[in-house]
Amino acid sequence: MAVAAPTGMEAQSPEDGVDAPELRYFVFALFFIFGGITSLNDVILPKLKELFTLNYTQAMLVQFCFFTAYLVIGIPGAQLVKRIGYMRGAMTGLLVMMAGCLMFIPASRTATYGLFLFALFVLASGVVIVQVVANPLISLLGKAQTVHSRLTFAQAFNSLGTTVFPIVGSALILGGLAGVSASDFTGAELEAYRTAETQAISNTYIGLAVALLVIAGAVFLFRNRLPGESHERSSPFAGFALLSRKRFGFGALCIFLYVGAEVSIGSLIVNYLQQRHVLALSEQGAGNLIFLYWGGAMVGRFIGSWFLRIMSPGLILATVAVGAIALLAISTNSTGAVAAYSLLAIGLMNSIMFPTIFSLACERLGARAADGSGIINIAIFGGAVIPLLTGMLADASGSLGIALLLPAVCYAIIAAYGFYARRPASEQA
């Protein structure tokens, strides 16, 4: 058997998995909702950048505060899930996400950038807990031999959320007053403009809070659906010992780099497409194209879930990472539609990266799956660090093209990991 299902449950056979089809639909819904909420950052980031007249480094604090939650909450989140179980853990995470959404109300009423950042951190804290549940749970719900394909298929629903949410978010948040920006106002007029425009952000997240409450109620009905669930007891920091395993440690690094690269590119799409030498679009017009980036990831995951059944996951990972580098090179060395759509096409290359890196790194963890998932979630902190560094590079160089060299380096390391992990963990051992 090439892959040991990372179930963390002693009462079930890892070869057979858990036969609960209805729970698969529930997990697909979790992937959809936390993927969509994460992608909304790409919409509110350029909006807040305009409203508060921020440079790229300051604007990237949106992603920094959101993804810092993975560093802070990763271990406590894994411990919480081990203590209360997958289903109750998911319910807790959804309620924390709802609290974060509701915090956008005072942030909007005071038009304070710092409050928006804090609300994003709370929202992301809930996302972390839900993600600690979702990744190992979908691995459990089926046969171990198809774990790569199943996790990639579940991630496709994550991408469905990241495709749909920016379309709706762009219409609700980026519409604004045509031809008007914060730089046109001062004093009381500026404060009034910021309060009015941030209200659109607040209303969007209030709607999300209501939806999250409904989903949490549905999860409550399934809270006892996994009888006999049991997790290995260990120190809160025991998961760090897994980093000594070369395959897992290298994989965790690649999760850090992949999320950082993906988020960096997504965060810059609106500003990149607004450039004169690219498409010279309005803010909303550029925002309407974000769905192509995330939609490419969705299509690629549905396709990739099939290819991963018949080809080496590691070699596929290496191939798409090289493809991402090639598209970055084309985009930054061309103009017009070629520059725009080659950048957006990187979403297709990103498609199978996260689930493939995750499953390759976590092969043969067995009952330590929750610890491994917690460490992987800490590695998602790359979504805070890499975008911030990319923003600093953009400010220092005055060029978004030069700033995109950093994601290219990330993809190069990921390609190396794909080649390294091309064989099953059992053979490497």
Q: Where are the domains of the chain?
A: 21-428
CB-CB contact of 290 with 267 (8 Å): no
Q: How confident is the model at residue 11 (pLDDT cuts 50, 70, 90)?
A: very low
- Select from 295, 313, 322 the least CA-distant residue to 355: 313
Q: How high is the mean pLDDT of the chain?
A: 85
Residue 67 CA to residue 383 CA, distance in Å, equals: 5
Say if residue 273's pLDDT is above 70. yes
Residue 277 CA to residue 45 CA, distance in Å, equals: 22
Between residues 184 and 284, the one the model is more confident about: 284
Residue 340 CA to residue 276 CA, distance in Å, equals: 11
pLDDT of res. 8: 39
Q: How confident is the model at residue 4 (pLDDT cuts 50, 70, 90)?
A: very low
- CB-side neighbour CA atoms (13 Å) of 234: 23
Q: What is the pTM of this model?
A: 0.83
pLDDT of res. 423: 73
pLDDT of res. 377: 76
Digit-coded pLDDT (tens) for 351-360: 889 889 988 8
pLDDT of res. 15: 45
Say if residue 334's pLDDT is above 50. yes
| Phi, then psi, of 230 in degrees rounded to 5 | -150, 145
Mean pLDDT of all residues in 67-91: 87
pLDDT of res. 231: 65
DSSP string, 382-393: HHHHHHHHHHHH
Q: How confident is the model at residue 310 (pLDDT cuts 50, 70, 90)?
A: confident
pLDDT of res. 138: 77
pLDDT of res. 41: 92
- Characterize 256-266 residue by residue with b for buried, 16 or more Cβ atoms within 10 angstroms of its Cβ, and e for exposed: bbbbbbbbbbb
> Residue 322 carries which side chain, given as an amino acid letter?
V
pLDDT of res. 69: 94
Contacts of residue 158, Cβ cutoff 8 Å, sequence gap at least 6: 31, 32, 34, 35, 301
Digit-coded pLDDT (tens) for 369-399: 667 777 887 899 999 999 999 999 999 999 9
Say if residue 270's pLDDT is above 60. yes
Say if residue 101's pLDDT is above 60. yes
Contacts of residue 206, Cβ cutoff 8 Å, sequence gap at least 6: 101, 102, 104, 105
Sign of dihedral through CA atoms 194, 122, 262, 141? Answer: negative
- Select from 246, 254, 249 the least CA-distant residue to 416: 254
Sign of dihedral through CA atoms 318, 319, 321, 326? Answer: positive
Mean pLDDT of all residues in 402-426: 90
Q: Over pLDDT 70: what percentage of the chain? A: 86
* Alpha helix (H) residue ranges in 141-245: 147-173, 187-221
Sign of dihedral through CA atoms 304, 295, 128, 324? Answer: positive
pLDDT of res. 234: 64
pLDDT of res. 148: 63
CB-CB contact of 42 with 52 (8 Å): no
Residue 352 CA to residue 334 CA, distance in Å, equals: 27
Say if residue 367's pLDDT is above 90. no
pLDDT of res. 180: 65
pLDDT of res. 341: 97
> Measured between alpha carbons, how far is residue 307 from residues 267, 311, 324 in Å?
29, 6, 18
Query: DSSP class of residue 55?
Result: -
Say if residue 165's pLDDT is above 80. yes
Lowest mean pLDDT among 59-68, 117-126, 291-300, 330-339: 291-300
* Alpha helix (H) residue ranges in 275-352: 283-287, 290-310, 313-332, 336-344, 346-350
Say if residue 412's pLDDT is above 60. yes
Residue 39 CA to residue 93 CA, distance in Å, equals: 18
CB-CB contact of 65 with 44 (8 Å): no
Residue 16 burial by Cβ neighbours in a 10 Å radius (0-12, 13-18, 19+): exposed
Mean pLDDT of all residues in 229-244: 73
Q: Report the SS3 class of residue 9.
A: coil
- At the fourth CATH level, the homologous superfamily of domain 21-428 is MFS general substrate transporter like domains (1.20.1250.20)
pLDDT of res. 12: 41
pLDDT of res. 2: 28
Say if residue 151's pLDDT is above 80. no
Query: Which segment, 160-164, 197-201, 326-330, is predicted with the most confidence on average?
Result: 326-330
Residue 127 CA to residue 123 CA, distance in Å, equals: 7
Q: Report the SS3 class of residue 311.
A: coil
How many beta carbons lie within 10 A of that of residue 179, not counting itself? Answer: 7
Residue 13 CA to residue 5 CA, distance in Å, equals: 9
Say if residue 139's pLDDT is above 90. no
Mean pLDDT of all residues in 110-137: 90
pLDDT of res. 5: 32
Residue 117 CA to residue 100 CA, distance in Å, equals: 10
Say if residue 136's pLDDT is above 80. no
Tokens at 403, concatenated = 């700033």
- Select from 78, 172, 130, 118 the least CA-distant residue to 375: 78
